[in-house]
Amino acid sequence: MSSQTRPKGRVGRPQGPDESSELRAEEIAATLRDGTYRHGATLKGFQAKWGLSEQRVHELSAMASKKVRAELTDPDRARAKGFARLEKIAEEAMLDADEKGNNAGHRKVAIAATEAFFKLSGLTAPTTVNVTGLESLTDEQLEARERELLARIAARGKKT
């Protein structure tokens, strides 16, 4: 029996994939997302690039597939990633400018990304509103409805 004391807790390699495996799986996932993944070719290319066994590259590919499937089946996560990308595009576009300091083109990109973000997130009000079902109301009922709606709008304005 050894005279050395054994460290408390778990000894050995920590559970879960290490950082290099995560990065490699993400690189494979990127090919799945952008449509450049080709059966029979992509994994062999990664195998040669990283110097890994075929089995290990297939394990990494399985991790990547799980990531991509999770993104597609979890709408909240996909929405959050999309909004983060739009925000990043808008920020980077505002930072970039050409040598002369002209950044009008970059601002257009930033504005377009910001508008898309607001539209997709539901933060903007619709530009047109279609109202149906009011044809059967009398003039008095329509006026009462109008007063009610104006009162609601005024109450919301006071809350903010």
For the segment 115-122, the average pLDDT, to the nearest whole number, is 72
Query: What pLDDT is attached to residue 36?
Result: 87
Q: Is the dihedral of CA 130, 134, 140, 145 positive or negative?
A: negative
Asked whether the predicted pLDDT for residue 113 surpasses 80, the reply is no
Asked whether the predicted pLDDT for residue 16 surpasses 80, the reply is no
Query: What pLDDT is attached to residue 123?
Result: 62
What is the rounded distance in angstroms from the CA atom of residue 60 to the CA atom of residue 54?
A: 10
Query: What pLDDT is attached to residue 88?
Result: 80
What is the rounded distance in angstroms from the CA atom of residue 56 to the CA atom of residue 71?
A: 23
Q: Which residue has the higher pLDDT, 96 or 17?
A: 17
Which residues lie closer than 8 Å to 72 by C-beta, 6 or more apart? 78
Determine the residue type at 130. Answer: N
Q: Which residue has the higher pLDDT, 70 or 21?
A: 21
pTM of the predicted model, to two decimals? 0.42
Query: What pLDDT is attached to residue 7?
Result: 58
Query: pLDDT by residue (tens digit) across 40-79?
Result: 889 999 999 999 999 999 999 999 999 888 877 777 776 7
- How many other β-carbons are positioned within 10 Å of the β-carbon of residue 114? 17
Query: Tokens in use for 111?
Result: 């504005």
